[in-house]
Structure 1
Amino acid sequence: MTVAAHDPRPKKVQIADALRTEITTAPLPSGHRLASLRDLAERFEVTTVTIGNALQILMDEGLVTSVPTRGYFVQMPPANAAGAAGPVERDEINAIHSEIRRLAARVAELEKRVDHEGSA
C-alpha cells in the first residue's frame, strides 16, 4: 500500500488515517502491538521518519502508545466499542493547537508589558 500522490494531505496524515481506520474498524484490542516502524515504512513505501510522524498523530489522539524498545501499541478500546467516545477529529485538534498558540502569544505579550512597566 502506498500513499496517494494526488492526495493533498501530507503523507503522515494519510498513513495516520489508514492506521486509525484499521485500529477502529478491525477492531484491534487495547494492548495490540502494531507492526515495526521498518515494516510499516515498507508497507506504505515511505521513510521510518514519516511513519514515526504518523504514529505521533495517533499518540496525540490517545489511540496509540509507544513503549521504548518494545514498539507501538493500541492504547484504548476502538471508538466503536460500547460506551466509547467517537473518533477525534483532526480539525478539532488543529483548532485547539491554534488556540493554544494564540493564547501563548497573548501571555508573552502581557509578560513583556509587565516587565517593561516594572522596569520604568
Structure 2
Amino acid sequence: MTIAEDDPRQPYEQAAETLRREIRDGVIRPGHKVGSVRDLASRFSISPTTVQKALGVLRDEGLLMTTGRGNYARDPEQAADAGRPGSAADLSEVLRRLEHVTSQLSELRDRVERLEAGNSGRADKNQ
C-alpha cells in the first residue's frame, strides 16, 4: 500500500490510520509485531522518519507497545483506556506541565536571589 497523493492528510497520518484499522480489525493481533520501521517504510513508500511518527501516534493512542525488540499491537480494548485519567497519555501531559512549572519556579528563585542580593548591598551602605 502506498500513501495517496490526493489525500489531504499527512503521510504519517495515512500510515497510522491503516495500521490502526488493521489492529482494530484483528489483522494485526494483540501481542504480534506490527513490522519493523524498515519494512513499514517500504510497505507505505515513506521514509523511516515518517514511519516513526506514525508509530508514535499509535503509541500515544495506546495501540502499540514498543520494546527493544520492536513494536507490538496492543488490545484495542486496553487502548480505549489510554484516554482515561491515570493513563500513560495523561501522565505524559502531567509531566510536561510539571516541567513547565519547575522551570518557572527556577526563574522566580533566581529573581528573588538577585533582589535579595541587591537589597543586602543597599543595607550595607546604609550602616
TM norm structure 2: 0.64
Q: Tell me by how many angstroms 1:71 deviates.
A: 2.5
Who wins on radius of gyration, i.e. which is larger?
2
Match of 1:42 in 2: 42
What number of residue pairs does the alignment pair up? 108
Q: Tell me by how many angstroms 1:104 deviates.
A: 4.4
SS in 2 for 1:114: helix
1:78 partner amino acid: P
Q: Tell me by how many angstroms 1:44 deviates.
A: 0.7
Q: Whose relative contact order is higher, 1 or 2, with alpha carbons under 8 Å and at least 6 apart?
A: 1
Match of 2:75 in 1: 77
Closer, same or farther: CA 102–85 of 1 in aligned 2, 3 Å: closer
Could you tell me how far apart the structure 2 residues matched to 1:67 and 1:108 are?
31
Structure 2, gaps ≥5 residues long: 84-88, 117-127
CA deviations 1:48-92 (Å, max 9, x no partner) are 221122112222222212232x32211x2123xxxx563868xxx
Match of 1:117 in 2: 112
Q: Tell me by how many angstroms 1:40 deviates.
A: 1.4
SS in 2 for 1:86: helix
Structure ranking higher in helix proportion: 2
CA deviations 1:74-114 (Å, max 9, x no partner) are 1x2123xxxx563868xxx7xx85x8766644542343122
Of all paired residues, the percent bearing the same amino acid is: 35
Could you tell me how far apart the structure 1 residues matched to 2:49 and 2:30 are?
25
Match of 1:108 in 2: 103
Could you tell me how far apart the structure 2 residues matched to 1:11 and 1:35 are?
17
1:63 correspondence with 2:58: no
| Contact kept in structure 1, 2:62 and 2:79, CA below 8 Å | no
2:71 partner amino acid: Y
| Contact kept in structure 1, 2:3 and 2:44, CA below 8 Å | yes
TM norm structure 1: 0.66
Q: Tell me by how many angstroms 1:116 deviates.
A: 0.8
